[in-house]
Structure 1
Amino acid sequence: MEWDGASAVAVFSHAVAVLAFATLAAWLLRRGRPAVFMAVAAVATALWALLAIIALLFAAEPLMLLDAPEALRSASWLLLLLHFSGAGKRAMAAALLLPVACLAAAALPDAPPLLLAALHLALAVLGMLLVEHVYRAAPQKARWGIKFACLGVGALFAFDFYLYSDAMLFRRVHPDIWAARGIVNALSAPLLALSMSRNPTWTPGLQISRQIMFHSAALLGSAFYLVAMAISAWYLRYVGGAWGALMQAACLCGAALLLAAVLFSGAMRARLKLFISKHFYQGRYDYREEWQRFTRALADDADGLPERAIQAIAGLVESPAGLLWLRHDDNGYHAAGRWNTPLASSGERADSALCQLLAQRNWVVELSSCPERPTWSADFWLAVPLMLERRLYGFIALAPPRTPLQLNWEVRDVLKIAGCQAASYLAHRASADSLAVARQFESFNRMSTFVVHDLKNLVSQLSLLLVNAEKHKANPAFQDDMLQTLANSLAKMRHMLLKLGRNQAPEAAAPLQLDQLLMRAVQAHAGSEPRPALQLRAAGMTVLADSQRLERVIGHLIQNAIEATPRTGSVLARLHAANGAALIDISDNGHGMSEQFIRERLFQPFVSTKTAGMGIGVFESREYLREIGGQLEVTSAPSIGTTFRVTLPLIEESEHGQE
């Protein structure tokens, strides 16, 4: 490659590197044996920078003399990383192959400059990969001590990568980038010193996960491919004459498109993963990584659970498509989900040969070897059972994988375990859906219960009215009260039917005058015996509530008081205020209740002492009062009487005027 000449800037830059790494080496040697390996690498870097200064000052082509020292410098940092990671001798010997290749190429008198640049570029890529591996393999607590060392060594190799990538692209070493190299290397020395001052604990062994190995192999392969394409493009330009520039551009663009197509190819990725698992690891799967991926796929709510379950299990064997079959009430299995394949229209009987193999033996069945192969399985490869509580909950049929796969015991065991996990998720989702439907029915039944309760109160009120009518039918005042009670009852029933027919939501709370509401509630029971009395000690009090529901609560409490009191007794509704709240007391002198009954049974739903009672009136009343910020209290004594107190927060006229 061409070199545009030495400069004072380059000499100064590399002189700074000599000073920085010589100082670092001296400081490290004083710290004892743990720092010796880094001190050796620092000495090698200082010598390389010193030789660069000599070559810049005295050599006509300085780069020709620096290939060997630079290879030794890179080799020292690679060995340092491998030593700190606990790698064995074989790994160290393998890592030295590239520096040895650089030394051999540099020793050749007519070595192509592009080849030397490509080898140095490969060294830089290998160094960055090792830095990343060392950092990722370190325990979380140990990263605090080694992060600056990884950052410093990584900066050395990253700048080399930048330098030689630019050199291969433009077929010459840029003098400004090369001149800055010494300063950039010198900046790494303080980071290395800071890291060593923290007395870091390095990883006990180099443990590279399959994911890192896969990405590293893909990156390294892409780098070598691009280097080869760059050399080919340079050769085409060299021999192409007038067409050289065109052929070089076409070669580079075509190479980039081909690389992108290969990297995005599922089949190529599957082949690379299979190759790495077969030749670098004893087991096929990285179980921690696979289980995390599988669990995340099932827990994600992006798509439907059936499709995600198929994708999660298909990913274990690189299958591109699948069908999910689930058991139905007709004692058969029907297609319930699909991924990249049409949904099958026919079902599978529970007593078929395939289902018997899956259920009785819990086997992962190759459909080609099934005794009675189903008609829908022509395009499928495997059937994975979904076992739940030792029963076949369903199964997943998978399409053939992207690359040939040996179906050994490890693959079968992983698929069976994954099938059990998927079955639990699918069953949980089915249970949740059933529970949601049950809750809807429960809500409907609860609403029906309240409606029936309100109807029961109206029937009881009209029954009392009919009983008293036999006695007071000739009294004009009673006749007026009876007509008013009938009109109120009829209006309530019409309103209830209207809401049920339209399935309306409860009305919104609005400002409400309590004295008017109490007068309506008492007037609705005017035909009862004993007739309730009303005592208003405060007027004009306003609360925020639903008029119909609050009137129903007060009416229910008055109705209970009337039913619990003999005809000769008394029922009193009293309105007064205290501490900024409205108090409504509904008192009677009936048979009363014990403290134990009030504490344990009064507010329990569906518990009642009445023969025809439903036991939800007081419970519903208390829940609604709590909903609007109020409360319901009760005091009672057997044979003396009962007082229910309703407490409601008041609102000022200015407040509800702004609503």
Structure 2
Amino acid sequence: MYIGLLSYSLAAIFFLVLLGVLLTDRRQDKPSRKYLLLATSISILWAGMAAFQSGKIELLFIYQTLEVLRNLFWQQFLLLVLGRSICAEDQSPIIYRAKILLYIISALMVVLIIDRHLLQFIPVLAHYIDPLLVGYLVQAVAVLVLLEQMLRNTRKDMVWAVKFFCLGLGGIYAYDFYLYSEAMLFQHVDNMLWQSRGLINALMVPVIGVAISRHPEWSSGIFLSRRVVFHTTTLLGGGIYLLVIGFGGYYVRNFGGGWGVIAQTLFMFGAIIILALILFSETLRAKLRVLINKHFFHYKYDYRDEWLRFIYVLSSFDETIPLPTRSIQAIAQIIESPGGMLWMKRDNNIYLPVARWHMAAVYDSENADTDFIKFMEEHDWVINLDEFEWNPGVYRSRGFFSLPDWLRSMQNAWLVMPLILQDKMLGFVVLTHAKNRRHNFNWEDTDLLKIACRQAASYLAQHEAAQALSEVRRFDDFNRLSTYMVHDLKNMIAQLSLIVSNAAKHKNNPLFVDDVVSTVENSVTKMNRLLSNLKDDVRGSEDKEDIDICCLIRREVDNRKRAGNTPNIELICVDEKIISTANHDRLASVISHIIQNAQDATPVSGNITIKLHKHINHAIIEIEDTGCGMDESFISTRLFRPFETTKGKSGMGIGVFEAREFLQRLGGDIEVESEMGKGTLFRLHLPLSRVK
């Protein structure tokens, strides 16, 4: 009797808590919620009466009537939900007839409960079978069938919300089906099964509550605390563990012979130590939290809105905001980060910063073979710098031990996210701290950021492929232009050859002399035009030699001065004897072009300073001017691309592109620092010669 009292009392308390949560919501005008409230209320009365009438035959009819009503209201709730899920006119009569049939069955059962003497009119039926048991069994089967139909007809995007409801209510009525099937077989209800029924209901109510919290039409504004669920789950798991260990200890003691007591003591002590280790394991606790948050609580994002906003920012066309910058903005807005920086992989297997948004500039690079890059590429891991500081074990267990120097020196850096495309890391994004989200960053943020970064990677890859294709097409145009130029040169050569062949015969003829002057003048005009189009695209032979860099620069400076170009140029050779191996004409052309660019950008009153020095195994040539400067967007997106220029039609935009290509083939590179209105610094890196 006491077991039944405790069992059904717990069920009543759990249903009462569920009702309290439902009543906190003001949206009680929906029919489905009304039936849900009625079914929950009747379940409270039924469980309470079951606990109160334990052993009291005189109250049995009230308990039985409440059970019929409990079953009826759950059936009506399920029929209402099922009808709204199907939304088909040809199914409406079937649902209506099902409602009427279930009402009739319930009414007949109530009549039999009130007046059992009606069975005397059917003595054979009363002798072999109890009609009430049949009724309860039919009601349980009806609920199970309706649950199956509801799950089958629920939209795929809502299955996650109703599956726990089907599990919870289905568990209650599956037990009822077993209880009454066994009762019909043995002609009486098993007392232990009946007493355990209340505990089964109590265990299933939280599962129903999870489903109600997920469904938009059933849920209320109050949810169980994640911490409460976590600790409850931990205690429940610990209790089940200890229960199993208790049975194991009993088995060891009874079958251990003379060592039974000792074996039981060692077994129990070891089991408790293992339980303590599990409970204090941060890794297991973290995994349990993620499991609970993923499967028992609302997602904190409206994924449809987040994705639409992300795609809108990423795909919008704005000439003032290039795609790399928009990619940073689209990713950052997800977690309300105020700024970020995008790094992309280049042909020389180095990651470079290509765009930034509300973040200080960084002049550095990261090799693709570092542990930092390999860790993100192999694990597709969002690095949380805060987590790396207070819980480095998470990263060290995966072989990642230290951050790059440039990342440690960045102020307010928070997250580093890889841009993965086809299992290769196209680049990565660094985001700054979001004050409102800093202490609320969890698995859901990580999952969403990973998907967003993959989508951004596909956009960026497509963007770079389109740019590469555009460059190829423009090179085709350039080659076509070269063909036209060769044709013009052939015509000029033919004209000049004709003059040479006729000079000996007509050199004293004034008309011939006038014609020669006119032809030469026309040829000079054409050649000047061709040279203007080529824009000093001098290409010498690729034969390499050891070059004294200081002498080469001094010669080019003198040539620029003799040409009358202004402003003033100052040369400082910190190290006089610096030797590098390169093609003399090509290197001279590169240096001359950079100096000319500096002169073109600098007013007459400005200054150009050229400084040469050694750094480890490289010669460093710094060409700094006080000219108009360039903005960061132009430097990062256009300066090193062919056919991009700030000189309008007077330049073809090949010089700086060719300069970097030439230096990189030598094993060097070129860096640019500039500020609008203050000037520009070109830093050329040349590998030193290996000759002694």
Normalising by structure 2, we get a TM-score of: 0.30
Normalising by structure 1, we get a TM-score of: 0.32
